[in-house]
Amino acid sequence: MSRVLTIGVDDDLAAAFRANGGAVLALGPAAATDGTALGLLGDADAPALLALGAEVPLPAALALAGQAEVVSSGTSVVLVAFADPDLWKEAMRAGVRDVLSPHADATEIQAVLARATGLAEARRSAPAPVGTPPAPSRRVVVVASPKGGVGKTTVATNLAVGLAAAEPGSTVLVDLDVQFGDVAGALALVPQYTLPDAVLGAASNDPLVLKTYLGRHRSGSYVVAGSDSPVAGDGVSPADVGRLLDMLGREFRYVVVDTAPGLTDHTLTALERATDLVLIGSMDVPGVRGLRKELDVLGQLGLVPARRHLVLNGTDSSGGLEMEDVERTVGGPLDLVLPRHKAVPLSTNTGVPLLEAGGKDPVTRGLRTLVDRIAPPAAPVRGRRARRRAGAR
Ligand SMILES: Nc1ncnc2c1ncn2[C@@H]1O[C@H](COP(=O)(O)OP(=O)(O)O)[C@@H](O)[C@H]1O
Ligand SMILES: [Mg+2]
């Protein structure tokens, strides 16, 4: 008999699950948000199916679906709602596996239950992903620059969106600009938890708890938003950051780290773990010199990771600088040159990352190239197709 947990579902539907072979525990809507559902999902005998009814507000239902995916990957989350294509899309991205009409007949209910039971059994026999050692192909990508306002957050958020679209569930974005981080704004997220929540208390040493503290962007990327005040950010030590990145590195294939300008202790801690450095400079003399200086210092510290990607952002021809001069000063070829383009501030202001909007402008194209440089060649076909899908939205 399949275990079914219903929350905020009307009595008739709960009875229908029962009539179709489910062992049903029916709870009121508060269980979705007061921790009851999460507790039950974390149990060894977690339900095969979690049905969320109309009495659970949609944002709470979607948030719980995302958490359920993490806490109990063997549980299928079913949303009971009249589904339109937009709701479907949103629900799927949040981790909902089926949307069931409130007027579903016995055949549909039976089918949903059978799918959930099959999936739960398949998951039970698969090895548990949590706590496994880091995959050899994992990447920690640190996005840094000597100066502020040169496009770190733009690049980091788009990298996360691009990598997450290429491989669902693969990516977490961490805002390490501990004082003035704006990742959440760039993604139009209102974070429930922020960096201090993720490094202090129960989340600091338990990957399962940590995952419930992560935000979720509609691209599928998980997000650790920056602290909501500079004072709160000050409470986060470099050691906290190191521990957080180590834990995330075991859980995610891609950890993308946005940083504050310059080489703060937090940035250096992230660089100690980095496989990739995306170093961004602006197209002006101080910007280019700063890039060179930062590379030199990192070289002296032995903190230039194996893969480095030099990016010049906001280029235009009005400053009198030639690309040749820039490359001579930096001491090597640039990997990516992004021109100034009006699509970028528009994206920042609306909170829709360029790779999500899928425009044809040169900055979007450049950012896609950067995603391709970082995504491992092992899954190029799937990655490109998935990204094209994301770009088509
Ligand atoms: N290539 C570009 N063209 C036009 N505006 C850009 C470009 N890159 C970044 N910007 C704008 O510059 C501002 C700072 O970018 P941001 O990514 O927040 O930089 P940082 O994180 O380095 O401070 C944002 O408003 C962004 O829209
Ligand atoms: Mg920034």
Last residue of a domain, one of 125, 150, 177: 125
pLDDT tens, per residue, the chain with 393 residues:
788 999 999 998 899 889 888 899 999 999 998 888 888 887 778 899 999 999 999 989 988 888 887 778 788 899 999 878 788 878 877 778 888 888 888 888 888 888 877 777 766 665 444 444 444 579 999 999 999 999 999 999 999 999 999 888 899 999 999 888 999 999 999 999 999 999 988 888 888 889 889 999 999 999 999 988 888 888 899 999 999 999 999 999 999 999 999 999 999 999 999 999 999 999 888 889 999 999 999 999 999 998 999 999 988 766 778 888 889 999 889 999 999 999 999 999 999 999 999 999 999 999 999 999 998 545 444 445 545 554 443
Q: Are residues 48 and 22 in the same domain?
A: yes
- The three-state secondary structure class of 258 is strand
Residue 134 counted as domain residue? no
Check pocket membership of 345 for ligand 1, CB cut-off 6 A. yes
CA angle 310, 311, 316 (to 5 degrees): 140
pLDDT number for residue 228: 83
Q: Does 257 share its domain with 228?
A: yes
The CATH number that applies at residue 335 is 3.40.50.300
Ligand 1, atom nearest to 345 Cα: 27
Residue identifier of the C-alpha nearest atom 11 of ligand 1: 345
Whether the CB-CB separation of 236 and 195 falls below 8 Å is answered with yes
- Give the atom of ligand 1 at the shortest distance from the alpha carbon of 363: 1
Give residue 135's pLDDT. Answer: 46
Q: Among residues 74, 100, 125, which one ends one of the domains?
A: 125
In a domain, 131, yes or no: no
The pLDDT value given to residue 369? 95
Q: Buried b vs exposed e over 364-386: b needs ≥16 C-beta within 10 Å? A: bebbbebbeebbbeeeeeebeeb
Q: Are 205 and 309 found together in one domain? A: yes
Q: Are residues 71 and 143 in the same domain?
A: no
Check pocket membership of 283 for ligand 1, CB cut-off 6 A. Answer: no
Sequence-distant (6+) residues with CB within 8 A of 108 are: 100, 101
Give the pLDDT of residue 123.
65
- Is 130 part of a structural domain of the chain? no
Ligand 1 contact, 148 CB (< 6 A) = yes
Q: Are residues 267 and 385 in the same domain?
A: yes
Closest approach atom of ligand 1 to CA 313? 1
Question: Which atom of ligand 1 is least distant from the CA of 149?
Answer: 23
Pocket test for ligand 1, best of 154, 157, 284 (most atoms within 8 A of CB): 154
Residues 200 and 329 in one domain: yes
Domain span at residue 162 reads 139-392
Is the C-beta atom of 380 inside 6 A of ligand 1? no
Ligand 2 centroid vs 55 CA: distance in angstroms? 39
Do 106 and 212 have their domain in common?
no
* Final residue before a domain boundary, out of 99, 125, 151: 125
Q: What amino acid is encoded at 264 in this protein?
A: T
Cα angle 296, 298, 300 (rounded to 5 degrees) comes to 70
DSSP classification of residue 104:
-
Q: How many domains does the chain have?
A: 2
Structural domain contains residue 133: no
